Chains A and B, each alone.
Chain A
Amino acid sequence: MSFLSVQNLSVRLKKGPPLLRRVSLEVAAGEVRGLVGESGAGKSMIGKAVLGILPPSVEVTGGEILLDGVDLLRLPLAERRRRIGALAALIPQDPLTALNPSHRIGPQITDRLVDILGWTRADAEARARALLAEVQIPDPDRVLRSYPHELSGGMRQRILIASAFAAEPKLIVADEPTTALDVTVQKQILKLIAGMQARHGTALLFVTHDLGVVSKVCQRLSVLYAGMVVEDTSVADFFAAPRHAYSAALLAATPKYTDPSAGLTPVPEAVIAAVQAEVAAFDRGGAHG
């Protein structure tokens, strides 16, 4: 059975338009699923719903989020938080805003382990040191005493990766974790995440707008448009032949330096019109919030 199973999840702005339209997806234990789509397609929103960190301006109007078989949406808030905290973690996009600039790195990794998961301070610190070594940070002791501004962007992202893996979560949501990095650092970080994920057997929900990145780290992917899953397929099948016209157009828009004549073609207006018609038909028919 899938470790994470999202069924018909609908989310909308409070008293506003739908943001997610009956989204369903599965992530098996140890599997990496990419969530792709343009900005506003709802890919981050799915990750936030899974982690129980939806902004207060939105509400879930239907569906289920089964984490290890238990529907998070039916749990009382405190219990839901405990369950998510024990089983899941986030690798955020922007490593500068995700770290508190006025605190040293060490406590930012260990406080959660001590305060929420009840580890001893010594255990938490030993764990942090071991993880920093695993994410290939030289001189972990110095880094644990550093402030975020003293470290490079790549280094900060490594710290957030270490921090995400700290409590051995079974699921990690990575929300555009390399978008702020330049390509050579992105490559190191992607390989690091993929390696950690494989070693720890973690399920990974990987939010990105970059199909190149998807082809490197994911086994399956969901393509989203306007909060609707238009294609759910394996990476091999997708890159061989995308089924939905919109996902094919998205792939054709992705730059490919090996072939200057390919890529960077805007999504044709006819394709957008067709997928918008699908969304409209869904809104008329699928009376689900």
Chain B
Amino acid sequence: MADLYSVQNLRLSLADMTAKPLMGAAPLIDILHGLSFTIPKGAVVGIVGGSGSGKSTLGRALVRLLEPSGGVIHFDGTDITHLTERDLRPLRRRFQMIFQDPMSSLNPRHRVGTIIAEPLRLHGFDAIPDRVARALDQVGLPRSFAARYPHELSGGQRQRVGIARAIALEPDFILADEIVSGLDVSSQAQVLNLLEQLVRDLGLTLAFISHDLSVIRRLCQRTIVLYRGQIVEDRPTADLFADPQAAYTRELLDAIPLPDPGQAWA
């Protein structure tokens, strides 16, 4: 199977604003310390780690919302590491992102229809109203929701709008960054089921960032565990759960409170 993403020795540094002197530039802080991995076409890959592990930074580098400071990212054979915004634009349609907090990633002043239509217009699609309607169908929202505002929807419904906006562009790759962590368990389950089905039906490649190994286990065939900007484990999910290799993976697993009063939790 061909690789959709191929990442070699990816490094990324950001300005550490908490250490910025009053005058002059903030010192750089290394977030990602040379990551190498591939994402084959059609794969569903989980990226897991604690806060500050660099998982969101990695995600943002993959969809080039951030520019790496070292290494190479190939997307479907094209080196996108340092492409300019102008050269990226035709590619942007092909890698889409779904954000964690739909309250801040959906414009509160726009109706759902406009929110889904805007990127379609930007990328020069035709028959936009039909595409918006189809996207709503695909995520299981009534078409009448096109006329609603984000605040009129529940958390789960808002997250579906985020998914509809991403899939309307017929992308090859979707990056989902903690998209269910703000939801109740039941809505969580619904959104995960939906995502699973869309990946299957549309042949998408998915990278799913989460701090929740239970969710990763359900959704992803392969899991990358990040710890302090380094990959400590990258294996098929079933193997990772059966026999975690890295100490940090074991620590993550042990920390999950199972809904079971009998679980030893020392």
Q: Is B100 an interface residue (CB 8 A)?
A: no
* Secondary structure of the B contact surface, majority rule: helix
The reply to whether B184 and A184 form a contact with Cβ atoms under 8 Å apart is: no
The reply to whether A215 and B261 form a contact with Cβ atoms under 8 Å apart is: yes
Q: Is A235 an interface residue (CB 8 A)?
A: yes
The stretch that binds A, out of B22-30, B31-39, B109-117, B206-214, is B206-214
The reply to whether B258 and A256 form a contact with Cβ atoms under 8 Å apart is: yes
Q: Which of A235, A239, A253 contacts B186 (CB 8 A)?
A: A253
A210→B265 CA distance, assembly (Å): 16
Q: Is B103 an interface residue (CB 8 A)?
A: no
Q: Which of A185, A190, A209, A215 contacts B258 (CB 8 A)?
A: A215
Closest to A239 in B: B261
Query: Provided the pairs A182-B51, A265-B189 are in contact, do residues A256 and B214 lie with their beta carbons within 8 angstroms?
Result: yes
- Which A residues touch B40, using CB under 8 A? none
The reply to whether A255 and B18 form a contact with Cβ atoms under 8 Å apart is: no
Q: Which of A150, A210, A215 contacts B260 (CB 8 A)?
A: A215
Q: Which of A213, A250, A257 contacts B214 (CB 8 A)?
A: A257
The count of chain B contact residues (Cβ–Cβ below 8 Å) is: 34
Query: Provided the pairs A183-B256, A211-B259, A236-B261 are in contact, do residues A249 and B186 lie with their beta carbons within 8 angstroms?
Result: yes
The count of chain A contact residues (Cβ–Cβ below 8 Å) is: 39
Query: Provided the pairs A255-B185, A260-B218, A266-B186 are in contact, do residues A182 and B257 lie with their beta carbons within 8 angstroms?
Result: no
The reply to whether B185 and A250 form a contact with Cβ atoms under 8 Å apart is: yes
The reply to whether B261 and A186 form a contact with Cβ atoms under 8 Å apart is: no
The reply to whether A190 and B18 form a contact with Cβ atoms under 8 Å apart is: no
Identify which of A210, A216, A254, A264 gathers the most chain B CB atoms within 10 Å of its CB. Answer: A264
Q: Is B13 an interface residue (CB 8 A)?
A: no
For the complex formed, measure the closest distance between the CB of A103 and the CB atoms of chain B, giving whole angstroms.
18
The reply to whether B185 and A184 form a contact with Cβ atoms under 8 Å apart is: no
For the complex formed, measure the closest distance between the CB of B3 and the CB atoms of chain A, giving whole angstroms.
26
Interface string of A174-195 (1 = CB under 8 A from B): 0000000111111100100000
Q: Is B217 an interface residue (CB 8 A)?
A: yes
By a beta-carbon cutoff of 8 Å, the part of chain B in contact with chain A is 18, 50-51, 155, 184-190, 192-193, 211-215, 217-218, 241, 251-261, 263, 265
Can you sample 8 A-B contacts with CB below 8 Å? Answer: A181-B51, A183-B255, A213-B257, A215-B261, A216-B257, A254-B259, A255-B188, A255-B214
